[in-house]
């Protein structure tokens, strides 16, 4: 474990874990959900609100930050944390996912990824070495090795190419990371496992990546083609192959039920745009009751006319700015229908608070050895955000 970091398992219940990950930028208690601030900003949410929600880590993206505001600006200011006025930990993705999400603007070569900027068409050649240098300059608490992400349902040949390329880039990433190591500025570097839904390739990727000695390991290539049962079946097999004494991070998976199902497989860290993206489309994630032993979940679509005269807050006991100030469902319905910016801000904040509360309840269930009961209630009551409003 890199100096300044420590990782310990506090409790387990089956494969589910509750861990403590201490970093130079604060303590991360798992299971942990990391809000996504791609460009150094979680959309529509103040850093103070993120901190108040209980978030201990925010995620930003290397590709996007290299394009805007650019590396030289962030180096001069002192990194992303100083730039966005965030006091907690920062995890930066390397930009490998954008090779998939922006594939029409991308050419993947053995040396790295050549992007045609989605902003102005200029060329960015993202190599493992540049990704490492940039993330160290960003003052990232946790940096990610550069990988190639492909759809999980790709052909065996395509998956194998991505696994081999990701392994070679991982070697270059960790070599450059160690070369640029600066006394007193220790940061963690995670490796990324690829292989899609092919167990043999996942195992190969794990063997190649673990041999390099990263500080933690991420499972990439999920939520890019497979369904939830396929994902869970693979997670049940591969999560136990990762070191028990290091963090396990599932990249990009993030509906409420998905998180709890993944915790059941032994995953510690998560990120996803779902809470803020849902907030911007008028959806609120809620607890349908106050019983923390059996958690019924509900998704409320504030566009629904049923809320037009509903004077209740989204939740009675939620501490988010939306609920705490007593904004009614009727008012939120009005803001959403009127297209007011405040609707997105209030609902995004509420959803982020909900996610942190869900992770806290999940951790408590693990620590109190009642995770199975908790897990069953979540699976029965929540249907991936599409269940009828509670």
Which CATH number do you get for residue 202? 3.20.20.105
DSSP structure class, residue 36: B
| pLDDT tens figures, 26-49 | 999 999 999 999 999 999 999 999
Angstrom distance (rounded) from CA 204 to CA 10: 30
Q: Which two tokens stand for residue 158?
A: 């395509």
Last residue in a domain, options 251, 272, 293: 272
Instruction: Say if CB 318 and CB 353 are below 8 A apart.
Output: yes
Examine the domain organization and report whether 293 and 268 are in the same domain.
Answer: no
CB atoms within 10 A of CB 349: 25
Alpha-carbon distances, residue 294 vs 15, 186, 304, 357 (angstroms): 19, 41, 27, 14
Examine the domain organization and report whether 267 and 283 are in the same domain.
Answer: no
Examine the domain organization and report whether 16 and 71 are in the same domain.
Answer: yes
Question: Residue 208 domain-assigned?
Answer: yes
Strands (E), 229-313: 248-250, 269-272, 283-287, 297-301
61 — phi, psi (to 5°)?
Answer: -125, 130
The predicted pLDDT at position 387 comes to 44
Angstrom distance (rounded) from CA 266 to CA 240: 7
Count of domains forming the chain: 2
Question: Residue 1 domain-assigned?
Answer: no
Dihedral sign for Cα atoms in the order 27, 31, 34, 35: negative
Q: Which residues does the chain have with pLDDT short of 50?
A: 382-390
The predicted pLDDT at position 142 comes to 98
Examine the domain organization and report whether 143 and 101 are in the same domain.
Answer: yes
The predicted pLDDT at position 241 comes to 98
Instruction: Say if CB 112 and CB 96 are below 8 A apart.
Output: no
Last residue in a domain, options 239, 272, 305: 272
Task: Let me know the angle formed at the C-alpha of 157 by 206 and 145, rounded to the nearest 5 degrees.
Answer: 40
Examine the domain organization and report whether 266 and 292 are in the same domain.
Answer: no
Angstrom distance (rounded) from CA 193 to CA 208: 9
Q: Which two tokens stand for residue 214?
A: 């990263």
Question: Residue 387 domain-assigned?
Answer: no
Question: Residue 390 domain-assigned?
Answer: no
Helix (H, G, I), strand (E, B) or coil at 106: strand
Alpha-carbon distances, residue 349 vs 250, 276, 342, 386 (angstroms): 23, 8, 11, 20
Angstrom distance (rounded) from CA 45 to CA 24: 24
Q: What does the radius of gyration of the chain's CA atoms come to, in whole angstroms?
A: 20
Examine the domain organization and report whether 284 and 268 are in the same domain.
Answer: no
Q: Which two tokens stand for residue 74?
A: 């962030």
Query: Nearest to residue 88, comparing CAs of 120, 111, 60, 108?
Result: 60
Residues 6+ apart with CB under 8 A from 333: 302, 303, 304, 305, 307, 308, 310
Examine the domain organization and report whether 172 and 38 are in the same domain.
Answer: yes
Residues 6+ apart with CB under 8 A from 11: 17, 18, 366, 367, 369
> Which residues are annotated as catalytic?
93, 271
Question: Residue 120 domain-assigned?
Answer: yes
The predicted pLDDT at position 386 comes to 41
Q: How far is CA 161 from the centre of its chain?
A: 25
Examine the domain organization and report whether 266 and 293 are in the same domain.
Answer: no
CB atoms within 10 A of CB 290: 9
Last residue in a domain, options 272, 296, 317: 272
Question: Residue 204 domain-assigned?
Answer: yes
Going by DSSP bridges, is the β-strand pair 123-126/113-116 parallel, antiparallel, or unpaired?
antiparallel
pTM for this prediction: 0.95
Domain that holds residue 369: 278-381
SS (H, E, C) 206-226: HHHHHCCCCCEEEECCCCCCC
Examine the domain organization and report whether 247 and 151 are in the same domain.
Answer: yes
Instruction: Say if CB 181 and CB 219 are below 8 A apart.
Output: no
The predicted pLDDT at position 288 comes to 82
Query: Nearest to residue 40, comparing CAs of 81, 72, 100, 95?
Result: 81
Question: Residue 389 domain-assigned?
Answer: no
DSSP structure class, residue 389: P
Angstrom distance (rounded) from CA 322 to CA 356: 15
């Amino acid at each position: 474990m890199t100096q300044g970091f420590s990782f310990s398992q506090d409790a387990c219940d089956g494969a589910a874990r509750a861990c403590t990950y201490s970093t130079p930028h604060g303590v991360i208690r798992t299971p942990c959900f990391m809000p996504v601030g791609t460009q150094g900003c979680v959309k529509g949410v103040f850093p103070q609100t993120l901190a108040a929600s209980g978030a201990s880590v925010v995620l930003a993206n290397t590709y996007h930050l290299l394009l805007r505001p650019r590396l030289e600006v962030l180096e001069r200011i002192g990194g992303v944390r100083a730039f966005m006025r965030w006091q907690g930990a920062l995890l930066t993705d390397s930009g490998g996912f954008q090779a998939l999400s922006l594939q029409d603007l991308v050419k993947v070569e053995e040396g790295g990824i050549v992007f045609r900027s989605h902003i102005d068409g200029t060329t960015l050649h993202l190599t493992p070495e540049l990704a490492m240098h940039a993330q160290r300059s960003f003052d990232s608490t946790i940096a990610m090795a550069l990988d190639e992400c492909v759809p999980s349902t790709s052909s065996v040949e395509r998956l194998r190419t991505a696994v081999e390329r990701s392994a070679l880039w991982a070697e270059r990433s960790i070599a450059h990371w160690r070369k640029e190591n600066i006394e007193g500025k220790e940061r963690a570097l995670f490796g990324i496992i690829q292989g899609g839904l092919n167990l043999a390739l996942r195992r190969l990727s794990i063997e190649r990546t673990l041999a390099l000695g990263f500080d933690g390991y991420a499972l990439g290539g999920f939520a890019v083609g497979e369904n939830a049962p396929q994902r869970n079946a693979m997670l049940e097999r591969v999560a136990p192959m990762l070191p028990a004494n290091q963090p396990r991070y599932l990249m990009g998976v993030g509906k409420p039920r998905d998180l709890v199902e993944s915790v059941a497989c032994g995953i510690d860290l998560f990120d996803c745009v779902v809470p803020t993206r849902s907030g911007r489309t008028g959806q609120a994630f809620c607890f349908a009751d106050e019983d923390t032993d059996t958690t019924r979940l509900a998704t409320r679509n504030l566009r629904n006319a049923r809320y037009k005269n509903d004077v209740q807050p989204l939740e009675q006991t939620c501490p988010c700015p939306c609920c705490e100030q007593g904004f009614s469902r009727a008012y939120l319905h009005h803001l959403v229908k009127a297209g007011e910016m405040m609707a997105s801000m209030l609902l995004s904040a509420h959803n982020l608070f909900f996610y942190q509360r869900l992770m806290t309840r999940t951790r408590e269930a693990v620590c109190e050895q009642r995770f199975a009961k908790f897990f069953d209630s979540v699976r029965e009551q929540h249907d991936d955000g599409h269940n009828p409003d509670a």
